[in-house]
A and B are shown apart, each in its own frame.
Chain A
Amino acid sequence: MLENLDSTLLARIQFAFTISFHIVFPAFTIGLASWLAVLEWRWLKTGNQVYADVYRMWVKIFAVTFGMGVVSGVVMSFQFGTNWSRFSDAGGSVLGPLLGYEVLTAFFLEASFLGVMLFGWNRVSPKMHFAATVIVAAGTLISAFWILSANSWMQTPQGFRVGQDGLLYPTSWLQVIFNPSFPYRFVHMITAAYLTTAFTVAGIGAFYLWRQRHVRHARVMFGMAMIMAIFVAPMQLVFGDLHGLNTLKHQPAKVAAMEGLWETERGAPLVLFGWPDQEEETTKYAVQIPKVSSLILTHDLDGEVRGLKAWPGDERPPVALVFWTFRIMVGIGMLMIATGVMAIVLFLKKRLFHTRWFQYWCMALTPAGFIAVLAGWFVTEVGRQPWIVQGLLRTQDATSPVMGSSIAISLIAFVVVYVFVFGAGSYYILRLIGKGPEDAEPAYGDHGVHKPPIVTGLAGEKGDRHV
């Protein structure tokens, strides 16, 4: 039975599984590392112990997450070869150096200074410790730079030629690295990572506020996260729109799938919801707003938008998956923007830290960023199908000469191990959250450290509990 398994499909499932699991961790650590750097900077600048306590709590969560990111990432560096060897062979000369640079400029940096960050408190000066945090944060961004450049090249390849042997050879590194979709994808992803972290931190800060625990710490977490929601969530809408327009220019079939549009027309409608049917080449039960798709995509009510039928059947991505994951991503983005608006209103009413329903709301949105990041990656990766390198190499031609049964068994092993190991990791993170920041000072801190202004609001807080 195992011999008849479709090895391309299995290889895709395995890759989708391992990469989806992996991306969750960097999406969190990119934002977390930068935030930790800000926290430590605030601590060094103000001497306010609350920042240090919050740092020490979150650095533990960072360590667990980073550890899981490392081990699931090592797997990725071998998956290209184990599952996509013909792609590795054909594209190695172009993509290999980008991944090589990622290791040389980012991975070593992160790995080495993470040790200082975690274990160096009593061994290096506070300034050196801060430097280590900043270096780790920079490492996460540099790493994202290279890997997103490589991924973007697979979406919008340029700067290469096809040799007589059928392999791809680089002709311009600047064109390869800064390929058309890279700047958009990079900004979109980094912003997404920051928002993911912000909403996780917001949810946990809200949890403490709701339970009236670690209130001073919670206000730092919640307050800083809300600043991100207010300013960065709307920016993400703009970045996302620009990224979409870039995709329309270079990968129009992906956009047609995102929009669920089959016919090429002027004044194309915006399909809000519906059920794209690949066989019947139509989107059933469509709820749509006339002309809005043209407006969004061409910034003109009567602009022409190409529908999926403009491509032969074997050059269309799986429409329903792209269509729906796109809506999940955008929907969560809208919820994030709404959170920012509510935060402004509550802040102006001086009720930001005391509004119960808003605390529930933020707790509910704790995993929102992760879901949005995964959904977004499904849009862009599934939307590129049937290509592994857009227009050049089909996914089905990129596989390894490995038997379906080997892939199936290793897939099962990955699923079992990941669920167990990363389940345990999540459990420990939840426990760290349950424990919360350890107070390095008694109640209202008179350690010679000046009182931060945020503490002053505390007295009235208990009375507001049931509002």
Chain B
Amino acid sequence: MFSFGSYVDLPLIWYGLIFTAIFLYVLLDGFDLGVGVLFPFAPSDQCRDRMMNSIAPFWDGNETWLVLGGGGLFAAFPLAYAVLMPALYIPVIIMLLGLIFRGVAFEFRFKATGKSRSIWDVSFHFGSLVAAFMQGVIIGAVVQGIKVDGRSYAGGAFDWLDVYSVMTGVAVVFGYALLGATWLVMKTENQTQAWARKCASYVIGYVALFLAIVSISMPIMSTQIRTLWFSLPNFFFLLPLPVASLVLLITIWRDLQTGREYRPFFLSFGVFLTGYLGIAISMWPYIVPFQITFRQAAAAPESQSLLLVGTVIMLPVVLLYTGYCYYIFRGKASHESAY
């Protein structure tokens, strides 16, 4: 049995890797969920075809990051997985049902004709909307803390539901809409692009508003987070995060007005990164806030070692061929059915 436990800090590495996997999921599925959120507001059916085509080759790979997040949590921090899943039972299942409705819509919509097609338009939109909203709700519920007794979840079925988690749910919907809109600015042209640009300019205001609410509310709600952010010298180390966020938002807005096509999308990644880092730092060192730290939840070092070998070898390969697939389907999406 091999274990790198005595050479490297395995739980810390895995804490970082899990956060990275979830972040990649948020970015990648974020933009295609965002396209689903914006879907019914597009000016024409042809626009909708383009929108769908722009993400059809990618959505499946994007969603795999969610499976990696779930599977990785199970493998690296089984205790956290065993506590969080029962705690988030209802929102997780609603999210999964949403993902089902939107996932099948990709295939079904192209196969459907006439009226039945609109069923899958609705299914795609609401599936995406519900999945995005529930992901936000889950974040809102987790950052408020989870009730734990021993090695099990000790709260009720609806502990996750409150005004705050609903607010974070709406925030994520707007965030994903920004990613989706800037993706469309990059991947479409003419009418669709012009509309997407308007959407992005509109949505970005809400994103800024919600970022502000979350940033202000989190330290107010938790003394732990307050001391983390506002004690010296932490404050000065962390100050660049909100500042960067603000600069990015302003730049995206200006880019949208000046007609840049690519930069708004990648700068939106930056906005998500600052927000995500803010939350991740506030969680430290917990994996089940504020009860179980990542060290307490860690799987056996042998288990983390085995999976680390696979990750070190496979993750770069995965990123490489994912990149290759994005490269194959570079350029603007058309509205014609592709196969």
**Complex CA distance for A59 and B338, rounded to whole angstroms:** 13
Per the bound structure, the CA–CA distance linking A67 and B58 in Å amounts to 12
> Could you mark each residue 17-60 of chain B with 1 if its beta carbon is under 8 Å from any beta carbon of chain A, else 0?
00000000000000000000000000000000000000011101
CB-based contact A71/B89 at 8 Å: no
Would you call A81 and B107 a contact (CB within 8 A)? no
Q: Which residue of B57, B78, B153 has the most chain A CB atoms within 10 A of its CB atom?
A: B78
B100 contacts the other chain (Cβ, under 8 Å)? yes
Among candidates A108, A413, A414, residue contacting B322 with C-beta atoms closer than 8 Å: A108
Q: Do A74 and B57 touch (CB < 8 A)?
A: no
Is the CB–CB distance between A75 and B100 below 8 Å?
A: yes
- Contact segment of B61-69, B163-171, B193-201: B61-69
B162 within 8 A of A: no
Name the prevailing secondary structure of the A interface residues.
Answer: helix
Interface string of A54-81 (1 = CB under 8 A from B): 0010011001100110111111011011
Q: Does B278 contact A (CB under 8 A)?
A: no
Q: How far is the CA of A421 from the CA of B299 in the complex (A)?
A: 37
Q: Which residue among B85, B153, B321, B324 has the maximum number of chain A CB atoms within 10 Å of its CB?
A: B85
Q: Is the CB of B82 within 8 A of A85?
A: yes
| Interface set of B (CB-CB < 8 Å, partner A) | 1, 56-58, 60-61, 63-64, 66-68, 70-72, 74-76, 78-79, 81-86, 89-90, 92-93, 96-97, 99-101, 103-104, 106-108, 111-112, 119, 151-154, 157, 299-300, 302-303, 306-307, 310-311, 314-315, 318, 321-322, 324-325, 328-329, 338-339
Stretch from A40-48, A202-210, A397-405 contacting the other chain = A397-405
Q: Tell me which of A60, A111, A400 has the highest count of chain B C-beta atoms within 10 A of its own C-beta.
A: A111
Among B74, B107, B154, B328, contact of A63 (Cβ-Cβ < 8 Å): B107
Interface band, chain A = 35 or more
Q: Identify A99's interface contact among B58, B74, B107, B318, CB under 8 A.
A: B74
Q: Is A432 an interface residue (CB 8 A)?
A: yes
Residue of A119, A171, A432 with most partner-chain B CB within 10 A: A119
* Chain A residues positioned under 8 Å from B60 (CB to CB): 67, 70, 111-112, 114-115
Contact between chains at A77 and B71 (CB < 8 Å): yes
Picked from A81, A116, A124, A170, the residue with its CB within 8 Å of the CB of B81 is A81
A-chain residues with CB within 8 Å of residue B299 when the two chains form the complex: 92-93, 96-97
List 20 A-B pairs, Cβ < 8 Å: A60-B111, A67-B104, A70-B63, A73-B67, A74-B99, A75-B100, A77-B74, A81-B81, A85-B81, A89-B82, A97-B307, A108-B322, A112-B61, A115-B329, A116-B328, A118-B339, A170-B300, A170-B303, A421-B100, A425-B108
